[in-house]
Chains A and B, each alone.
Chain A
């Protein structure tokens, strides 16, 4: 049974609300995932054995554990800790949204840390040695040479990971948050038409993914303009 547009229009507000939730989650998880992943990546490359072991276990656990398991564990497990309901933490975990952001960020950080660590290891040794020889401090060298160098190397896989973050947000349905796919499902269950709402939701996801890919590409162009030199020259000629 395919929905007529008139019936479908009555569900548009629900769909918009869901889409906004999906964007919110994607943005928050992108930010927190990055903030968690960077120190783990540094620990992964550290000279300290303990730091490396910690980073390895973090990546092993959060990259390997299914998102749903982590989500359920935090959502239903955390309130079981004695005394937590009387502490200030309860305000954070009483609602599903902070838990969703935490669980998805940890999952994303598991993948990101590995990507970042690899990129940092592969920054050209010559660049670093030259910077040190010119008298830049270790911190300066890291911030002005190693980080931008690593960013250039990991832009593509980073873009991939962001698209995964976007799609991974669908899991939050299971802890009572109505995101884009949740809204589409509710329309499906109320109208018994799976095709229209899921196609529309799918199209919206595609647009979001396109936005991410375009942004990442733009950043890549900014960071490594020489990779796009040929295209730029052609454009200039034309």
Chain B
């Protein structure tokens, strides 16, 4: 009886998959998925990028069955606190006010920040930015930096994601954008960014811009220990360098110097 054979095979398969599911803890992980090269959404709806590869590696080593969830950056922490997912793995800078409400892993990368605008328009940075409009993520770290260090000379305009900032930069609604160096370089290297360049100095300011980027968890979540261990292992055996080389060739965004 071939039918019975099939049934037995299906049952065995079912048992195997449920056993595997038992062994792996199922969690949901938030990504912005529109912050290349760290995370982006492909045309077919799948996610890719530095953080997606690194996150998948972390999940594999920590024995986690991870499902990526797309979430706009501005509501990311609020949704974590509302338990919409277990972990944020999305360029979230480690900052004191955020540590009050949630736990961070050790930093897994550390980027710097840059302003960028029309080629040649910001030769004398301190003078040329006066009265200009700068696109930032609404309410995010960069927004606070501009409000603190360029109050009265730069007007911050808040956006939901980098694509919108770049669209308005190209359209001329804003004169500058301020954001992480790697995504900025990605934009500047694209055809849309051909008329733009980095303006002023590269900025590294732990006080406002954070001590690197970490995974974020609800307070007291035991996931943190597992993820920390996985990150250390990924750094130790050279896997981090491989992923770095694949997505941000030539850049150094290692964060192990920040580990205490």
Contacts and interface: CB of A to CB of B under 8 A. Distances in A.
Interface of A: 1, 76, 79, 85, 94-96, 174, 176, 178, 185-186, 188-190, 192, 194
15 contacts: A1-B101, A76-B167, A79-B171, A79-B173, A95-B173, A96-B173, A176-B158, A185-B74, A185-B75, A188-B78, A189-B138, A192-B77, A192-B81, A194-B78, A194-B82
A79 B172 contact: yes
Interface in B29-81: 74-75, 77-78, 81
B158 A178 contact: yes
Interface of B: 74-75, 77-78, 81-82, 101, 138-139, 157-160, 164, 167-168, 171-173
Contacts of B168: 176
Nearest to B160: A174
Contact of B138 (A96, A186, A192, A194): A186
Contacts of B75: 185, 188-189
A186 B160 CA distance: 12
Contacts of A1: 81, 101
The secondary-structure label for the interface of chain A is helix
Contacts of B81: 1, 192
Contacts of B158: 176, 178, 186
B91 to A, nearest CB: 16
Contacts of A192: 77-78, 81, 101
Contacts of A188: 75, 78
B77 A189 contact: yes
A188 B171 CA distance: 30
B172 A85 contact: yes
B78 A76 contact: no
Nearest to B140: A189
Given A185-B75, A192-B101, 13 more contacts: A79-B173, A94-B172, A96-B173, A176-B157, A176-B159, A176-B168, A178-B158, A186-B139, A188-B75, A188-B78, A189-B138, A190-B139, A194-B78
Contacts of A178: 158
B135 to A, nearest CB: 9
Contacts of B82: 194
Given A85-B172, A176-B157, A176-B158, A189 B101 contact: no
Contacts of A95: 173
Contacts of B167: 76
Contacts of A94: 172-173
A189 B157 contact: no
Contacts of A189: 74-75, 77-78, 138-139
A6 B184 CA distance: 38
A109 B159 CA distance: 28
A195 to B, nearest CB: 11
Nearest to B173: A94
A79 B171 CA distance: 6
A212 B187 CA distance: 47
B203 to A, nearest CB: 22
A178 B159 CA distance: 10
A188 B160 CA distance: 15
Contacts of B164: 176
Nearest to B98: A192
